[in-house]
Amino acid sequence: MFNFAGTKKLRASTYGRGLWELTFIAGPDFQISVPNNSATVFAGTTAAFSGSLTAVNGYASAVNLTCAAGATPSPSVCAFSPGGTKPTSIGANFSLGAGGAGADYLFNVQAAGTDANSITHTFSLTLHILDFALTAPAPGSITVKQGATSGAVALQVTAAGAFDRTVNLSCTGLPTGVTCKFQPSATVEPVSGSPVPVPLTVSTSLNTPPGTFPLNVVATTAGGPQKSQTLSLKVTLATSNGPDFEITISDGSQSAAVNGAVIFHGTLTALNGYNSLVNLGCGPGSTPQPPTCSVSPLSTTPTAGGAAFTVSAASDVPQAYNFVIGATGTDTAQSFHSAPVSLSVGFDFSFSNLSPAQTVAAGQTATYNLDLRPLGNGNFPDSVSLGCSAATLPALTTCAFTPAQVSVGSGDTNVLLVLHTTAPASASSRITNSSLVLWFFLPWGGIVMTSGRQVLRKRLLLAGLLLTLISCGGGGGLSGGGGGAANPGTKPGNYSITVTASSGSLSHGLQAALTVQ
């Protein structure tokens, strides 16, 4: 018999059949409930949760409400109204406003009582905060002659959290005769960790007035906020007074993995007989150029048909680069032109098993050292969840990881995988209900005969309590030998368990070899 915080419980156990617990007297307590336990909102807005605190067995102390970490940290905005209240028998209502940066939050409402025993309960909530963004154009200003088309302006649409919407792109504030075009489409579907490049070209007509105009590049999605960036457009007259050249890049927006190189292909075209040598190089745009950026050849003379060159670029840091390929002429005026390009370097990681195959007897555990390492110089931008494939895990075997999850911002992390197997158990090692009851009565037979009715009454009361416990155990909770099946344990054999690690939209797997004897 146990007494904790006013709650009295009887506990009974038998060999090999577990533990039974009966509550005779329940002490004061309270319950917390939040019916709308999942919400989805956009960043910049607040999700509203409504809950109640219900008193049980006369609980009469105030309860303080806070947000606490669950599988993830709680959102940055977490405000209760009221912050503390006293539970009632019909339920005292409270509300929670939660919001923050775009991400998925699996957190808890923690209700801490001010009673002497500090009774505390938690309730799990899920909050999906969606967000998307439009990167600044690179370059931020362009010059286009009347009746001409600009080079590609680098733009990207990014997403955060569980964003799964369509984003529509457009331009506003266009002067007469000006159009804009997004490649490959003005409709994109970004997801977290995978930005979508959308190079933009601007075309003018012969009746577009000369001058400088601010263009608005707008991104919208159903139910969400509008995002925009400004691009400065300078329109010049169609006529040209002297020799010049232009630089173009045919594939100005590319993506690569960490340390993976891409090749941009460009041409220098001579205008009005330009014939001076032009020096080429990488330069910053809205971001610095990637750490590896080389042009071949470094210098060339434009031709009327276009002199070709290439640019090789790579980075060991996962990020978006919006930079330019600059061309400086050796003519007297040192004419300069540039073409914007973009390189999106995606995050990736390696997942490896550092342990050899393990051999254990059924009932023992096998351990493996696993390594999770971000590639390049970055850290994990999302948490990493770990799991074992049920299809490859032996029956009666479980797997566990330490740590259970790798946190956002972590670097190279060692993870311990433990496989728990089950030993076989014989049915004959357990006793039956009937034998237990018989055992209960046989030793007392002589005492009942010699001690009279009072002893008999006590024995019968104890027998009734025992039968009640057996009944509470599920009609045979104490049985095991009377026809019960033996536990076969983990079956001997050779197994290859598939282990997966998932971070954002990325997932990698490995094999853990196990032999059970």
Q: Could you tell me the residue ranges of all domains in the chain?
A: 2-130, 135-239, 242-343, 349-424+488-516, 427-472
Cα angle, residue 156 at apex, residues 212 and 320 outer, rounded to 5°: 110
Classified as helix, coil or strand, 11 is strand
Question: 433-441 and 453-472 helices cross at what angle (nearest 10)?
Answer: 160
Q: Hey, what are 361's tokens?
A: 């007897």
**361 Cβ partners below 8 Å, 6+ apart?**
421, 423, 516, 517
Cβ(142)–Cβ(153) below 8 Å: yes
Beta-bridge partners for 487? 425
Q: How far apart are CA 97 and CA 65, in angstroms?
A: 12
Let me know the angle formed at the C-alpha of 315 by 369 and 219, rounded to the nearest 5 degrees.
Answer: 105
Q: What is the pTM of this model?
A: 0.47
CA proximity to 302, closest of 268, 326, 334: 268
Classify domain 242-343 by CATH number. 2.60.40.3170
How far is residue 217 CA from its own chain's centroid? 30
Which CATH code is given to the segment(s) 2-130? 2.60.40.10
* DSSP state at residue 437: H
Q: Measure the CA–CA gap between 248 and 308, rounded to whole angstroms.
A: 10
Closest CA to 487 of 421, 426, 431, 419: 426
Tens digit of pLDDT at every position of the chain (517 positions): 555 555 666 666 766 666 666 655 579 999 999 999 999 999 999 999 999 999 999 999 999 999 999 999 999 999 999 998 999 999 999 999 999 999 999 999 999 999 999 999 999 999 999 999 999 999 999 988 888 888 889 999 999 999 999 999 999 999 999 999 998 899 999 999 889 999 999 999 988 998 999 999 999 999 999 999 999 999 988 765 678 899 999 999 999 999 999 999 999 999 989 999 999 999 888 788 999 999 999 999 999 999 999 999 999 999 899 999 999 999 887 788 889 999 999 999 999 999 999 999 999 999 999 999 999 888 998 999 999 999 999 999 999 999 999 999 999 999 999 999 999 987 554 444 444 444 444 444 444 444 445 545 555 555 555 555 445 444 444 444 444 457 889 999 999 999 999 998 899 999 999 999 9
Residue corresponding to tokens 């331009």 = 171
- Greatest Cα pair distance, the chain, in angstroms, is 131
Q: What is the CATH number of domain 349-424+488-516?
A: 2.60.40.10
Helix (H, G, I), strand (E, B) or coil at 83: coil
Both structure tokens of 19 = 């533990």
Per-residue confidence (pLDDT) for residue 23, from 0 to 100: 57
Within this chain, domains 135-239 and 242-343 share the same CATH topology: yes
Eight-class DSSP state of 135: P
Burial state string for 163-194 with b = 16 or more CB within 10 A and e = fewer than 16: bebebebebeebbeebebebeeebebebbbbb
Pick the CATH number of 135-239 from 2.60.40.2310, 3.20.20.450, 3.30.70.1230, 3.10.20.90: 2.60.40.2310
